């Protein structure tokens, strides 16, 4: 399989550092280990708010570490993106 090639291992290692870390932070730091409310809509709302908080934290970190013009350019990359799932409704994805 692809993950057994050298290139696949390199990509997966990078994914572990970025994507999986984001999910781990959601679970450990932002309370997504368990849903706090019942129902699909309320659970989705919790996920959306968590994703928004994670994006705000990234923006705050960028703003604190760079000069203003560079920071604004970088923040534009972190605007929320919307993807339409198979069902109805929209899901906010973490960048």
Could you read off the pLDDT of 76-91 as tens digits, one per residue?
Answer: 766 665 555 555 555 5
Contact (Cβ atoms closer than 8 angstroms) between residue 55 and residue 95 = yes
CA distance to 3, 57, 83, per residue, from 45 (Å): 34, 18, 15
* Whole-number pLDDT of residue 38: 92
Indicate whether this model's pTM tops 0.75: no
Length reported for the chain: 95
């Amino acid at each position: 399989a692809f993950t057994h090639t050298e290139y696949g291992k390199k990509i997966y290692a990078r994914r572990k550092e970025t994507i999986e870390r984001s999910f781990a932070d959601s679970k450990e730091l932002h309370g997504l280990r368990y849903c706090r409310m019942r129902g699909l809509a309320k659970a989705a709302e919790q996920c959306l708010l968590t994703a928004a908080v994670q994006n705000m934290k990234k923006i705050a970190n960028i703003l604190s570490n760079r000069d203003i013009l560079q920071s604004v350019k970088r923040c534009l990359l972190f605007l929320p993106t919307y993807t339409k799932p198979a069902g109805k409704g929209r899901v906010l994805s973490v960048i």
